[in-house]
Chain A
Amino acid sequence: MSEGRTRAPMKGCPSAAGKAGRRDIGRTAGRGSTRRSRLRVVAPRPRGRKRRLPFLVISFVLVGALVFGVVSLQAVISQSAFRMQRLEQRSTQLRQSYGDLKLQVAELSSPERIVHEARRLGMQLPDPSKLQTLAVAGIPRDTTVTRASDSPSFALKRQLGDAP
């Protein structure tokens, strides 16, 4: 059995192999260094730090972007909600104004007010005895009384009335 022969480290047992290696190296260096010069002790490579940095950077960027996105989204949502509230308030105010104006129109167009205004302007109802009824030959047209559903003014009022 040759003395310079080294034992291969056990597969899957690096520490055992390392210790055996270091013992063999010591012995080899004392007895024949030229022959065993290929074996040397090397410092462990700083592999962890180099690989973790890009991971941290990417993670930081991703998380940062995510947080920024969520916060921005929340801000936009909140902003929109506040804007919505303001618009709703404005809508309520406008509806109120529309209702007030509608009431005003109804009051101003009431028969009593029209008669009052007409009198103020010097108008008066005609004397019935001075009214003449003319007899006209022919068949009178249909004089069916009007219905609101047929009235264009009512249709318009409905449209306006339904406006929010």
Chain B
Amino acid sequence: MALLVTLLLAMAAIVVRLTFLQVKDASAFEALAHNQRVRTIALPPSRGTIFDRNGDELAMSLPAKAVYADPHLVRDPAAEAPIVAQALGLDEAKVQAQLGGAGGFVYIAHGVDAKLAAKLEARKLRGIGFLDESRRYYPADSLAPQVLGFVGLDGTGLAGLELQYQSLLAGRAGRQVVEEDPTGILIPQAAGSDQPPVPGDDLLLTIDRDIQYRAQQALISAVKANHAKGGTVIVLNPHTGEILAMASYPWFDPNHFAQADPRAVTNRAVTDAYEPGSVNKVITASAALEEHILKLNTRLMVPDHYQLYTKTFHDAEPHPTERMTIGDIIAYSSNIGAIMTAHLLGTDRFASYLYRFGLAHRTGIDFPGESAGILPPVAQWSGTSMGTIPIGQGIAVTPLQMACVYATIANGGVWVQPRLVQGTVGPDGRIIESPAPEARRVISDQTAGEVARLLGYGVDVGTGVQAQIPGYWVAGKTGTARKVNAKGTGYSNNYVASFIGFTPASRPEFVVAAVIDEPATVFGGIAAAPLFRDVARFALARLRIPPAAPLAIPPHAVRIG
């Protein structure tokens, strides 16, 4: 009888336990079993490639591995560290410290070449794991690094176009659910679901790789020749707003961005504003001609100094009072002539042209961190503002803004929004062109043609003679401006020299802006004009641009010096 009772109790216990296992906790155990054998593998998307305008790769991604360690599982850090360090080219002591650490997870290396990682994986080291990721390569190294930007260890764009077009380039991660046996071998035909990754779109830039390279080489030569702190070059198609080259020195190698000087990472052509100096006189002249305040043959009596309230303005060189046309004023970069012209226009009309040419507004280029420059509202102008602003002082512009001013002249008076991206290429290989850039008329075609003649005359006989290119007519303007001191309370003894122009002058194909920061020789005609010439000469050959008709020399009255 006792045996029967014992058996019955045992049976009852089994039934109760079975009920708990099979009924009450069934879903929990089912989930546990599922988690033991089912694994979700993250499938990283392939980041889009960045091409130049001719389809040459400027940035591309390849699959890579992240190598990590779980120090809890590493039995002998001293034995494993040399193997890992040697395979990955790392410091052995550092790796050993990581393997022997107290944490549960530590990255040993990122962006490891897949083949290298496969060799290390074959060693089946305990506690060493591998994760899929991709690595960004910039095959041309330091070519347009500030424009391209770079990506972080997690593949996210951190600067430049990599940041601007992050969502487009990144794509969408996929996942694969697989079942494995206890040894980690995939079970074929087991339940699983795949969500393939969506690759990022490719970017097709407006940059021409060869012009960019040549511009950078010319820039570094000019900076060194002038013992300067840095410099910027922009090559721009005035008709389409396409940037053919954009370089700032110093630069960096985006393949090793962690070692870059923070100053070198900034795309100063877009993000930094400077006092433009005399290159701003082109706006003064354009406004006067457009408003019919002056004609090309109107002569002004121009002294070499001008008193405006408490401040006396001077021309660069002393000279007796001269009769000058607007052609003379631009060609010889007369400060007093420009100030007198602006006064003839009046404050409001003059200010309206500054805005119409795009000053104080971001150009809207597809690049992060663009500066709008500084142009005080007319209501805040002081009594001397009509002395400083017409000659490009007391305001700040980016090199790109000023390049766009000259592009407006070169494009028959129509301002076109600059851009760096021509289009995108989707996974289906179809090219989607960027929307047409914004364009607006600033001055008439006739005025633009007249201003081009003034600028051409300036290169022919004026301050810009060093920008001449044999066989071609060049139109452009020099600029020399003092830099504001570090405290922002006044001017320092440092200068920015610039030359901005276009060629062929009678049928412009491109604009080149050359800016040299703190050159030993401060004049734009000496420090920056040769840089313009070097870049423009290469671009003419590269783009196979034939010489165009010569420009008609504008009426002129004097020759100073």
Contact = CB atoms under 8 A, between A and B. Distances in A.
Interface string B489-523: 00000000000000000000100000000000000
A3 interface: no
Contacts of B52: 148
B235 to A, nearest CB: 10
A77 interface: yes
A77 B189 contact: yes
A145 B53 contact: yes
A109 interface: yes
A149 B470 CA distance: 33
A149 B423 contact: yes
A133 B470 contact: yes
B362 interface: no
Interface string A104-132: 00110111100100000000000010011
A82 B139 contact: no
B553 interface: no
A61 B115 CA distance: 53
A161 B545 contact: no
Nearest to B57: A106
B540 to A, nearest CB: 9
A131 B114 CA distance: 50
Interface string B87-127: 00000000000000000000000000011000000000000
B188 A107 contact: no
Nearest to A149: B431
Contact of B188 (A85, A106, A149): A85
Contacts of B423: 149
A154 B60 contact: no
A149 B204 contact: yes
B237 A145 contact: yes
B138 to A, nearest CB: 9
B189 A96 contact: no
A96 B62 contact: yes
B62 A103 contact: yes
B546 interface: yes
Contacts of A147: 53, 422
Interface residues of B, number: 48
Interface in A84-103: 84-85, 92, 95-96, 99-100, 102-103
Interface string B237-258: 1000010100000000000000
A145 B239 CA distance: 11
B380 to A, nearest CB: 42
B472 interface: yes
A15 interface: no
B139 A107 contact: yes
Contacts of B60: 99, 102-103, 106
Contacts of A145: 53, 208, 237, 242, 244, 509, 543
B548 interface: yes
A99 B210 CA distance: 23
Nearest to B61: A99
Contacts of A16: none
Contacts of B54: 146, 148, 151, 153-154
B422 to A, nearest CB: 7
Given A99-B63, A111-B210, A112-B143, A143 B545 contact: yes
Contact of A131 (B63, B209, B237, B470): B470
B77 interface: no
Given A103-B137, A146-B53, A162 B204 contact: no
A99 B62 contact: yes
B141 A110 contact: yes
A78 B374 CA distance: 71
7 contacts: A85-B186, A145-B244, A148-B55, A148-B204, A148-B431, A149-B423, A149-B431
